[in-house]
Amino acid sequence: MNKLFKSVMCLVVMVVLLFPASAFAADEKLESVVDFTGFNTTLTVGETAGFSALIHVSSMSEIGDYDFVPVSSDTSVLQVESVSTYYSHIHAVGTGTATLTVDIGHGYTPYTVTIKVVDSQDSVNNSAEDSTNNDPVDYTASDDYYGTDEDYTDDDANDVMLDALIEYVDQMAPLEKYENSALSAYNKYRVVTPSNRKKAYLAFNNVIVPNYTKLVVGLKKIEPLNEELNVIHSHLLSGSKLQLEGFTIMKTSLYSTKIDYKKLTNANKKLAAGRALFDKAKTEINEYTTKYGG
| pLDDT score of 15 more than 70 | no
Could you tell me if 119 and 173 lie in one domain? no
pLDDT tens digits for 243-266? 999 999 999 999 999 999 899 889
Backbone angles phi, psi at 102, to 5 degrees: -115, 120
Q: What is the pLDDT of residue 3?
A: 39
DSSP 95-152: SEEEEEEE---TTEEPEEEEEEEE-HHHHHHHHHHHH---SPP--S--HHHH--GGGS
Q: What is the pLDDT of residue 187?
A: 81
pLDDT tens digits for 211-227? 999 999 999 999 999 99
Q: Which of 80, 109, 127 is the last residue of a domain?
A: 127
Question: pLDDT band for position 58 (50/70/90)?
Answer: low
Could you tell me if 166 and 282 lie in one domain? yes
Q: What is the pLDDT of residue 19?
A: 27
Whether 136 is in a domain gets the answer no
Domain count for the chain, please give it: 2
Could you tell me if 166 and 289 lie in one domain? yes
Q: What is the pLDDT of residue 61?
A: 54
pLDDT tens digits for 166-203? 898 889 889 888 888 888 888 888 778 889 999 999 99
Backbone angles phi, psi at 222, to 5 degrees: -70, 140
Instruction: Give the burial class of 254: count Cβ atoms within 10 A of its Cβ; 0-12 exposed, 13-18 middle, 19 or more buried.
Output: buried
Could you tell me if 116 and 168 lie in one domain? no
pLDDT tens digits for 103-117? 887 667 889 999 999
What is the model's pTM? Answer: 0.54
* Dist CA 247 CA 271 (whole Å): 8
Residue range 151-168: mean pLDDT, rounded = 77
Range of the domain at 31: 2-127
Helical H runs in the chain?
5-8, 60-63, 120-131, 143-146, 154-172, 176-188, 197-203, 209-221, 227-253, 261-293
C-alpha atoms less than 13 angstroms from C-alpha of 179 in its C-beta half-sphere: 25
- The three-class DSSP label of residue 90 is strand
Q: What is the pLDDT of residue 24?
A: 29
